[in-house]
A = this chain, B = another copy of it.
Amino acid sequence: MVTIYDIAARANVSAMTVSRVINNTGRISEKTRAKVKRVMEELNYVPNQMARSLVLQQTHLLFLLIADITNPFYTTLARGAEDAARKLGFRLLFGNSDENGDKEQEYMDTLLKMRVDGLLVAPAGDASLPHLETLRRHQVPFVLLDREVPGVESDIVLGDSKEGARQLVRHLSENGHRRIAMINGALTVSSARQRFEGYKEALKLNDLPYSEEYVLETSFGPRADLSEIDRWLGRMDPLPTAIVAGNNVLAVEVIRTLNARGLRVPEDISLVCFDDLASYAEIDPFVTVISQQAYQFGYLGMQMLIDRIRNPEEAGPWKKIVLPSELIVRRSVKAVR
């Protein structure tokens, strides 16, 4: 591996002079600079970032940890974060916790050891608390995305989940539905909790009955098999006339399970959900959803993160951005009665 010492020897200068050429610091005569640059090209020199980071005490690396890389909500968010990072002159790498606290933990370890300069996290759930406390203890700036973690104070970008849930239920109610079920992510995830709260509130507000039997708490991530959902559908008696899905993944899985049972949406049962489906759904805008501005989650979060990194002394109060959610009515709800 070629080092600055190799360059220095070949160019008959000291290592420090090479370092100065690389970083454009200090004063160097044009002649020396040219000579050093020529030698660097000849030897295909690539600076060793680890050695550099070690002495500089910063890596200039940012990291985005998302909860489900196959979910278009998060990949769109990732594109937003990436664009913001590029625009502000930072490099961004990604990780995927797969809605799994242990995998998240592994990433956190790696990133802490790598001494990344900052971190954007869509936490796997409330159990992320210790990981985030560790980050804080080690003074790694981070911004939470999409999910809060009780006990953690930080910059954060959230969607208005509770209001979204209210809107969905109101929409169903306005279409005459009275037996409204909900399938949701784990309640250890703040967005799932908020959506559940909004669902219950809206039921009350609209004078609709609430029944535990009509609620399934599972995970936001994709399931290996759909039997849990199928059993839930089998348990409900009578079947609800409409289902609220806590996110896009659940919506798709419910529809597939319903179809397997010979039930069709919206003819036999109506369905609404959070988060838009993939762009692929654009070819047939079908499911009525609460759409979130995924790209903005990433973009704004990254701006906040870099702001903290660039002005660490300011230490203003934590910022919380709540992005509005929008009800997009399509064809997955049938009016009843």
Contact = CB atoms under 8 A, between A and B. Distances in A.
Interface of A: 1, 44, 46-51, 53-54, 57, 59, 61, 63, 69-70, 72, 75-76, 78-79, 82, 86, 91, 93-96, 98, 103, 106-107, 109-110, 112-115, 134, 137-138, 222, 248, 252, 255-256, 259, 277-284, 286-287
A96 B82 contact: yes
A78 to B, nearest CB: 6
B46 A112 contact: yes
A263 to B, nearest CB: 13
Q: Which of A76, A79, A259, A279 has the most CB of B within 10 A?
A: A279
A138 B50 contact: no
B93 A93 contact: yes
A48 B134 contact: no
Contacts of A61: 110, 114
Given A75-B75, A279-B252, A48 B54 contact: yes
A248 B70 contact: no
Given A252-B282, A284-B286, 15 more contacts: A1-B138, A44-B138, A46-B112, A47-B113, A49-B110, A50-B51, A51-B54, A70-B75, A78-B96, A79-B96, A86-B103, A91-B110, A93-B93, A252-B280, A278-B278
A326 B293 CA distance: 36
